């Protein structure tokens, strides 16, 4: 049986169920829009501080929000999988001859589509707030969010499938996500940070993705930051999907 046909089926089933209950899609959107409305104006004042990266405040802030959406939007999808596991849906799919890879891929694709739509709404709202950026930069920013979503969703599903319990998954997620967010420069650029903090943030691969997305929003595709961000995002996706597939194959073989 064809793995991509299978993944398509898993995708469309999952999508239908998500659309039937759009509450969490809306909640996922509301958060970045609140940031835009309640934190964005604050950032305008900081934009004149020495050390603030090039570009206007929105060009710096919106790519950060997009990456945040990619990270958080997809990191929590594992909870849905635990619910599916509990209701017996995963087991029911496992006794079919479907490709095991498709069981993962179909769900990840659903998450990525939801994420990119959310990102699109975010960008359009940001334009209303005053964002001005080259179109190709914005599109590449959206692409980065999608790639990040693939990574995070795969890893989230794999972790959830191993733990099989919300009580174990939630604390792990919190422990991991908070430092990743603080050290990525999503809210305030890390170029404002003292030396030791800046150096620490360089260990966090997601900080490169944020810098890359900012370069894209400036239209600065020749910048080293853009190249580094793209490469890191691609490598993370390969690692995440490989890990996810491995765990799915093992746990569902």
Partner 1 sequence: MITAQGLKKTFRSRRGSVEAVRGVDLSVEAGGIVGFLGPNGAGKTTTLRMLTTLLEPTEGTATVAGFDLRANPVGVRRSIGYVSQAGGSAPEALVGEELEYHARFYGLSRGDARRRSQDLLPQLDLAGLDTRQVKTLSGGQRRRLDIAMGLVHSPGLVFLDEPTTGLDPQSRANMWEHIRRLRNNNGTTVFLTTHYLEEADALCDRIFVIDAGLIVASGTADELKQQVSGDLVQVEVASGTEGDIDKARGIAAGRPGAEQLTVDGAVVSFRVSRGDEAVVGLLRDLDAAGIALSSLQVQRPTLDDVFLALTGHALRDGSE
Least separation in angstroms between CB 124 and partner 1: 29
∠ CA(189), CA(194), CA(198), 5° rounding? 55
For partner 1, the binding residue among 3, 9, 25, 170 (CB under 8 A) is 9
Phi and psi torsions of 21, nearest 5°: -130, 75
d(CA 163, CA 101): 19
With CB under 8 A as the contact rule, the residue among 51, 54, 94, 238 that binds partner 1 is 94
Q: How far is the CB of 108 from partner 1 (least distance, A)?
A: 18
CB of 12 to partner 1, least distance (A): 8
Rounded distance between C-alpha atoms, residue 85 and residue 165, angstroms = 10
Which DSSP symbol is given to 49? Answer: S
Taking CB under 8 A as the criterion, the residue among 89, 177, 228, 239 binding partner 1 is 89
Q: What is the DSSP code (8-state) at residue 56?
A: -
Q: Does 20 bind partner 1 (CB under 8 A)?
A: yes
CB of 249 to partner 1, least distance (A): 12
> Is residue 23 within the footprint of partner 1 (CB under 8 A)?
no
Residue 139: count other Cβ atoms within 10 Å of its Cβ: 12
Scanning the structure block, which residue is given the tokens 């991991």?
176
| Rounded distance between C-alpha atoms, residue 119 and residue 35, angstroms | 13
Binding flag, residue 13, partner 1 (CB under 8 A): yes
Is the CB of 93 or the CB of 158 nearer to partner 1?
93
Least distance from partner 1 to the Cβ atom of residue 76, Å: 17
Nearer to partner 1, 10 or 150 (CB): 10
Inter-residue contact 131 to 33 (CB < 8 Å): no
**Residues at the interface with partner 1 (CB under 8 A):** 1, 6, 9, 12-13, 16-17, 20-21, 84, 87-89, 91-98, 253
């Amino acid at each position: 049986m064809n793995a991509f046909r299978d993944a398509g089926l898993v995708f469309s089933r999952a999508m239908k169920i998500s659309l039937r209950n759009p509450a969490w899609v809306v909640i996922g959107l509301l958060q970045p829009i609140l940031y835009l409305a309640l934190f964005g104006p604050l950032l305008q004042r900081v934009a004149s501080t020495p050390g603030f990266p090039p570009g206007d405040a929105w060009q710096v802030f919106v790519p950060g929000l997009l990456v945040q959406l990619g990270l958080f939007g997809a990191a929590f999808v594992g909870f849905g999988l635990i619910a599916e596991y509990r209701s017996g849906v995963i087991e029911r799919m496992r006794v079919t001859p479907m490709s095991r890879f498709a069981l993962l891929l179909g769900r990840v694709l659903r998450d990525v589509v939801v994420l990119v739509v959310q990102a699109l709404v975010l960008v359009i709202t940001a334009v209303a707030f005053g964002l001005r950026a080259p179109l190709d930069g914005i599109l590449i920013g959206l692409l980065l969010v999608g790639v990040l979503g693939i990574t995070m969703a795969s890893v989230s599903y794999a972790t959830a499938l191993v733990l099989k319990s919300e009580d174990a998954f939630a604390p792990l997620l919190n422990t991991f996500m908070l430092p990743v967010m603080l050290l990525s420069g999503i809210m305030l650029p890390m170029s404002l940070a003292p030396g030791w903090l800046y150096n620490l943030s360089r260990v966090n691969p997601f900080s490169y993705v944020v810098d890359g997305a900012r370069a894209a929003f400036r239209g600065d595709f020749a910048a080293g930051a853009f190249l580094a961000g793209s490469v890191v995002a691609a490598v993370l996706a390969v690692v995440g999907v490989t890990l996810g597939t491995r765990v799915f194959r093992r746990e569902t073989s």
